[in-house]
Amino acid sequence: MKSRKKILGGEIKQYTMVIALVVLIIVFHIATGGRMITSSNMQNLISGNAYVLVLAIGMLMVIVIGQIDLSVGSVAGFVGMVTAISARNFELPWWIAVLIGIAVGLIIGAWQGFWLSKFGIPGFITTLGGQMIFRGAVIWISKSISVPAPKELKIFGAGHLPDFGREFTGMNNSTLILGLLVIGWYIFSQLRKRAKETKLTHESQPVLPLVIRIVLMSIAIGYLTHLFGTGRTGTSFPVPGLILVALVIIYHIVTTRTRFGRHIYAVGGNKSAAALSGVNVQKTYFLTMLNMSFLAALAGIMFIGRSTAAGPSDGTGWELDAIAAVFIGGAAVSGGVGTVMATIVGGLVMAVLNSGLMLLGVGADRTQVIKGLVLLLAVAFDVYNKTQGKKSIVGMIQQNFNRLKKTEKSDNSKLTAR
Amino acid sequence: MSSKRIASLLIALTMLFAATVSIAEAPAGFEADATIGVSLPWLGTQNWMEANDMFKTQLEAAGFKAIVQAADQKVPQQQQQIESMIENGVKVIVVGPIDGTQLGVVLEQAKADGIYVIGYDRMIENTDAVDGVVQYGSIQTGVTQGEALLAGLAAQKGEGPYNIELFGGGPADPNAPNFFIGAMSVLQPKIDDGTLVVVSGQTEFSQCATLDWENNKAQARMDSLLSGFYSDIEIHGVLSPNDGIARAIITASEQAGQEIPVVSGLDAENETITWIWEGRQYSTVAKPTDILVAKTIEIIKSLQEGNGMPETETQIYNGLVDVNVYELPPVAVTRENIEEVFANDPSRMELLK
């Protein structure tokens, strides 16, 4: 047990959801007769769900501050439509249309943040209003007719990395390079972490667990690289997946290592206490809502890239998918608890369920029932564990987060000392 | 010219010839028990429910394996379903699109895998990854609706001018504007000469459209039209794009204390058959699902045998390429001919009692 803990770096609890996800994938792989874990299905899984996961990142932060955003689907749909219309009607280059779309997203975010932070209108109401306003606006500006999206956007919604040298390696080399970079980075970060710990504790850490950890992780990443890299010629790890990974890294750092990130958890945990200890609650609210609409704008643009057109009912119900991902990932309804990583895993659980059930030919009706039950059971499991006095998954994630905070604090104090 | 050069020229010519021949050759067929994917928009109306069942039974009767799925009116869901069909190794994908413009990327994937794509009931737009579309002529459907409305007004509401209102279908459905255009090609001349009066003045498609074909949205619009424009006058007729919306219109009119207006429809749903038989709804347009499904399967068989897509005279530009369209004529149904139209449909004949 102890040695296992050492190999996994004391983070075994955080992997519960990941293990559940892996088991789910394997079960579906067997049930579908080997159709689940194929390059093309995994590529589809990523590019077909990237936009929901992008929304989920923002939604996590909104839920952590104790609010909720019901408008994200409408905002995504509206921004997608604005982008498509500005490219078609005003014949603007695609990138200007995208910038306009993102600017509109930011303006909408500022609008929602304004009502929440300055007027103190609960996010539920502000964004319920926003949901209606922007749904109506999409239909209004589009006259209820779909508008083709600029061709160049396809790369953001369904694009692949350049394919070269396949005859030498038998796979997509962009993906290969990407995989090697990730492995390299992982080894580097593990070694650096070890050096740091040695320096702090003045005792050398055992080498074997570290080596096993690096080998296991390299095999996992190597396998994924192979999986995504050996699809049809011209396919690779999908570009929307790459955008998602970049965002996950950025927001993981923002939520765990920055002042703004700490403020989000502080405000969500106890608003008054946070205010008394000098956190600008209004500003935190404002920035979180602004950020949510920004991500909704990105999701909307990614979606029209994949759909090749912006439609009047784009985004309907997306807010619920994003919220479900956040709660399956173990966030607390009352706020203050939840992580970006766990949210992504939660979103992937939903995505895998969707994909697996479709491959099995289960209809949309029953899929919906199953997804609803999974959401309920995932949260119930967590609540049950808490009431039984056992460690809750959420608590464990939170604990892990606290641990991180502690190390950071020591980092910070070191900085100030310097 | 050296003999070597002539020889190489000859070889090049032969190769070119061989290449041309192989292009001109009919595409190869596939196994007789291949899997066929059918992606439908949803099962919320009777015709889609019927299509769902008929595709299953008729494809299996023809010896194929069938994957039939419906997407609950959600575009991302439909995209993913089509991808999972590609994963399942289908040879043909039949798509009734939710939004005909939003499937470009996934259908191109299907095409890249050598899968035939057949549009079912609705046009697939803005992509070249479509081999043909089977549908009832959508403009013609609208014309039939418009003519039925005029005939009904003359038969039931005495001399003109008649007060009417217009309803359109879901704007994301590429057929909906065509129904409206077809109907207006019949109604507009009568509006111009004063026989018909659209009291609300709402004659643009975007004003009359019913988002997502939702009946409750149509009913809400009808309620507000009746209270806004018909508090002291009678409404004689309403152009309705389908049966669900027709029922919403009739219900709203009854609740507003109006005599039931002449209402058109589409789909010949069971409930509508009863209503027409009872005289509550004047007409509907039948686009028998079994004929459409049978036509689609006929095309799939032709592909299976290696004969390619059958010849057709109609081509419709989908925004990118001309698509082969296999059009079937819709049938107007009123109380007079209802027994004749459904003579071969025991489940519907059951309703006429």
pLDDT greater than 70 at residue B11: no
In the predicted structure, residue B329 carries a pLDDT above the cut 80: yes
Are the Cβ atoms of B105 and A355 closer than 8 angstroms? no
pLDDT value of position A98: 96
- B311 in Cβ contact with B268 (< 8 Å): no
Label residue B12 by pLDDT band (50, 70, 90).
low
The reply to whether residue B72 touches residue A144, judged by beta carbons under 8 angstroms, is: no
CA distance B85 to A141: 35
Closest Cα in chain B, distance from residue A109 (Å): 25
Q: Which whole-number Å values give the CA distances from B294 to A407, B140, B344, in the listed order?
A: 69, 20, 15
The percent of residues above 90 in pLDDT, for chain B, comes to 61
pLDDT of residue B347: 81
Q: Which residue, among B93, B107, B100, has the nearest Cα to B124 in the 3D structure?
A: B100
- Residue B173 clears pLDDT 80, i.e. is over it: no
* Distance in Å, alpha carbon of B238 to nearest chain A alpha carbon: 22
> Could you give the residue ranges of the DSSP H alpha helices within chain B?
3-24, 46-61, 75-87, 104-112, 138-156, 175-192, 205-208, 215-229, 243-255, 270-278, 289-304, 338-341, 346-349
Q: Is the per-residue pLDDT at B8 higher than 70?
A: no
pLDDT at A1: 45
How far apart are the CA of A404 and the nearest CA of chain B, in angstroms? 37
Residue type, A408: E
Structural domains of chain A sorted by starting position, each given as residue range(s) with its CATH number in brackets: 2-159+238-361 (1.10.3470)
pLDDT in tens, A360-405: 877 777 888 999 999 898 888 777 766 665 555 555 555 554 554 4
CA pseudo-torsion sign B54, B56, B59, B61:
negative
Name the burial class of residue B304, with classes exposed (0-12), middle (13-18) and buried (19+) by CB atoms within 10 angstroms of its CB.
buried
Tokens of B229: 């424009």
Contact A146/A90 with Cβ under 8 angstroms?
no
Q: What pLDDT was estimated at residue B14?
A: 54
Whether residue A48 and residue B67 make contact (CB cut-off 8 A), yes or no, is no
Mutate to test the interface with A, among B102, B204, B317 (most CBs of A within 10 A): B102
- Band (pLDDT 50/70/90 cuts) for residue B20 is very low
Please give the Cα distance from B258 to B243 (Å, whole number).
19
| pTM check: above 0.80 | no
Q: Which CATH class is domain B138-287+334-349?
A: alpha beta
Q: Does domain B35-130+288-329 bear CATH number 3.40.50.2300?
A: yes
Q: What is the pLDDT along chain A (418 residues), one digit of tens a residue?
A: 455 555 555 454 457 788 889 999 999 999 988 888 988 889 889 988 999 999 999 999 999 999 999 999 999 999 999 999 999 999 999 999 999 999 999 999 999 999 999 999 999 999 999 999 999 899 889 877 788 899 899 899 888 999 888 888 888 999 999 999 999 999 999 899 888 888 888 777 788 888 998 999 999 999 999 999 988 888 899 999 999 999 999 999 999 999 999 999 999 999 999 999 999 999 999 999 999 999 999 999 999 998 888 988 889 889 999 999 999 988 888 889 899 999 999 999 999 998 888 888 777 778 889 999 998 988 887 777 666 655 555 555 555 545 544 444 444 444 444 3
pLDDT score for B9: 58
Contact B171 A312 (CB under 8 A): yes
Contact B79 A48 (CB under 8 A): yes
> How far is Cα of residue B214 from the mean position of the Cα atoms in its chain?
16
pLDDT at residue B130 tops 70: yes
Q: Could you tell me the end-to-end alpha-carbon distance of chain B, in angstroms, rounded to an integer? A: 89
Q: Which of B68, B83, B126 sits opposite A309 (nearest CB)?
A: B126
* C-beta atoms of A308 and B126 within 8 A: yes
Give the HSE-up count for residue A311: Cα atoms under 13 Å, Cβ half-sphere.
Answer: 27
Q: Is B65 helix (H, G, I), strand (E, B) or coil?
A: strand
Who among B83, B99, B127 is closest to A44 (CB)? Answer: B83
Above 70 in pLDDT, residue B80?
Answer: yes
**Is B319–A354 a contact, with Cβ atoms under 8 angstroms apart?**
no
Per-residue CA distances from B184 to A152, B139, B145, B192, B239 (Å): 38, 10, 10, 11, 10
Distance from the A355 Cα atom to the nearest Cα atom in chain B, whole angstroms: 7
Mutual angle of helices A239-257 and A281-307, in 10-degree steps: 170
Contacts of B83 in chain A (CB under 8 A): 40-41, 44, 48
B72/A364 touch (CB, cutoff 8 Å), yes or no: yes
Residues in chain A whose beta carbon is closer than 8 A to a beta carbon of chain B?
Answer: 35, 38, 40-41, 44, 48, 51, 139, 143-146, 148, 154, 157-158, 232, 303, 306-309, 311-314, 316-317, 354-355, 358-359, 361, 363-365, 368
Across the interface, whether the CB atoms of A309 and B209 are under 8 A apart is answered no
Dump pLDDT digits (tens) for B251-267.
999 888 899 999 999 98
DSSP class of residue B310? Answer: P
In whole angstroms, give the CA distance from residue A254 to residue B103: 36
Domain extent listing, chain B: 35-130+288-329, 138-287+334-349
> How far is the C-alpha of A350 from the C-alpha of A343, rounded, in Å?
11
Rounded CA separation A320/A48 (Å): 16
Identity at A107, one-letter amino acid code: I
Judged by CB atoms closer than 8 Å, whether chains meet at B80 and A354 is answered as: yes
- On the question of a common fold for B35-130+288-329 and B138-287+334-349, the answer reads yes
Q: Which of A157, A307, A359 sits opposite B84 (nearest CB)?
A: A359
What integer is the mean pLDDT of B222-240? 91
**ipTM here:** 0.73
Q: Do A38 and B87 touch (CB under 8 A)?
A: yes
CA–chain centroid gap for B46, Å, is: 13
A313 closest CB neighbour out of B87, B88, B212? B212
B80 to A307: CB separation less than 8 angstroms, yes or no: no
Average pLDDT, chain B: 88
